A and B are shown apart, each in its own frame.
Chain A
Amino acid sequence: MTTKDQSLGPLANDGLSPEERDLFSDARPVPYQPYPIEVVEKFVNWVRANSLFMLAFGTGCGAVELNPLMTARYDAYRFGFQPRPTPRQASVFMIGGYASVKTLKRIIRSYEQMQGPKFVVALGICPVNGGMYWDSYNTVNQFDLYIPVDLYITGCMPRPEVLLAGVLELKKKIKEGRADGHNRYIENLDWYKANQKRIIKNWDMPDYSW
């Protein structure tokens, strides 16, 4: 990754036409700053960890096991984990397996619209090293080149039990203050953007979807 360079100017938004450019913000996102008092930060993290809102976006086949996870038998609600329909309300993004290039574009937009600090959990094998679709012309092989991932759960499919275990693991990570994917993304925004733009040919959206 490139060095953390915050002295860069506003975002170029050069995928947009000049008229459109006025409609979108070109401000750079700012990393999350922990509270100066450690106890407060710890408390806030504890709160965060116990109300995780997942974005309801089934990006791939992994989504099929999210249904049982959210319903009566496994009931993830009791662990403080529930789906939300819009990124504005969500803090966890479960990447459901493979991401096609077309979906990746939507993932980026959805991810950027989520409120920070936000966490990404990658399900299955495909985000790790391409999985089943390692030779496909339309799915990415290493998801963490485009979006920072906090946790990987292997399996094809990962079962609801292990998804649940993953949620608990994520909670633990958040409580310990180690879930820093959000900040990694912002601090290395240019690196991520370069990776994203290399494979998304028709980049017709702002560089950061506020």
Chain B
Amino acid sequence: MSNDPKSIIEELSDHYQISEIKEQKADLLLLKIPKEDAVQFIRELRDGQNYTHLAFMTVIDYIESGIFTLTYMLHNYAAHHNIAVHVDIDREQTEMESIHELWVHAATYQRELREMYGIRFPGSPRLDDDFCLEGWDEIPPMRREFDTVSYSRERFFDREGRITTDPREHMKQIMYPIHTDND
């Protein structure tokens, strides 16, 4: 078995539709895989290619194109190499196969993603338990359309009595008030 990440990917390309391969640096390779094959592909990397360590899994919200991109960061201890597996899933019908059987701690990540983004991972343990939040009844807070500032202002109130002045406006009002009031 070759340890060279590129040949691994080449080898796997025969069976999987790997796209957007990018070598970010010597020890990090990014690639994308269709949703259907993702878990099988990750299993293959873990069992066949020695990528035994799941550093983390997370998601990137591309709200403008309506997708969530899941990232599974796998690590090969022998080769000291990371592969980031990207999987695009729909932003509205957010569901993804669970990988808690491959790594126990993946269940915790999946719980977090369920809570913070609303992604469902059927079968993942304690998935619907509260993780960080309690009694949350808004849209999941990490989704990009959630505006944390206005939420905080409405809910927790800033202390009153603060006023700020814009230097440019202030100078304008005092030094040349009539020089700009037209067109």
Contact A137 to B148, CB < 8 A, known contacts A128-B159, A129-B158, A142-B159: yes
In A137-151, the 8 Å CB interface with B consists of: 137-142, 145
Partner of A201, one of B135, B149, B157: B135
A77 touches B (CB below 8 Å): no
Contact A129 to B159, CB < 8 A, known contacts A135-B148, A202-B135: yes
B56 touches A (CB below 8 Å): no
Partner of B152, one of A105, A130, A145, A200: A130
Residues on A with C-beta less than 8 A from B149 are 135
Closest CB in chain A relative to B50 CB, distance in Å: 39
Tell me the nearest residue of chain B to A103, going by C-beta. Answer: B134
B168 touches A (CB below 8 Å): no
Contact B137 A137 (CB under 8 A): no
Closest CB in chain A relative to B21 CB, distance in Å: 37
Closest CB in chain B relative to A210 CB, distance in Å: 23
Tell me the nearest residue of chain A to B136, going by C-beta. Answer: A201
- The secondary-structure label for the interface of chain A is loop
Contact B159 A200 (CB under 8 A): no
Residues on B with C-beta less than 8 A from A135 are 148-149, 152
0/1 interface trace, chain A 100-114, chain B, CB 8 Å (1 if under): 011001000000000
Measured as residues with beta carbon below 8 angstroms from the partner, the interface class of chain A is: 20 to 34
Contact A202 to B134, CB < 8 A, known contacts A137-B146, A141-B157: yes
Contact A141 to B159, CB < 8 A, known contacts A130-B152, A135-B152, A136-B152: yes
Contact A137 B152 (CB under 8 A): yes
> B132, B146, B158 — which one has the most chain A CB atoms within 10 A of its CB?
B158
Contact A130 B134 (CB under 8 A): no
B176 touches A (CB below 8 Å): no
Partner of B156, one of A102, A105, A142: A142
Closest CB in chain A relative to B131 CB, distance in Å: 10
In A58-88, the 8 Å CB interface with B consists of: none
B12 touches A (CB below 8 Å): no
Contact A141 to B135, CB < 8 A, known contacts A135-B148, A135-B149: no
Contact B134 A134 (CB under 8 A): no
0/1 interface trace, chain B 130-171, chain A, CB 8 Å (1 if under): 001111111001000010110110011111000000000000
Top 3 nearest A-B pairs (CB, nearest first) are: A201-B135, A202-B135, A141-B156
Instruction: Using CB atoms and an 8 Å cutoff, list the residues of chain B in contact with chain A.
Output: 132-138, 141, 146, 148-149, 151-152, 155-159
Give 8 pairs: A residue, B residue, CB < 8 Å, sorted on A: A102-B133, A105-B134, A137-B152, A139-B156, A140-B156, A141-B157, A141-B158, A145-B157
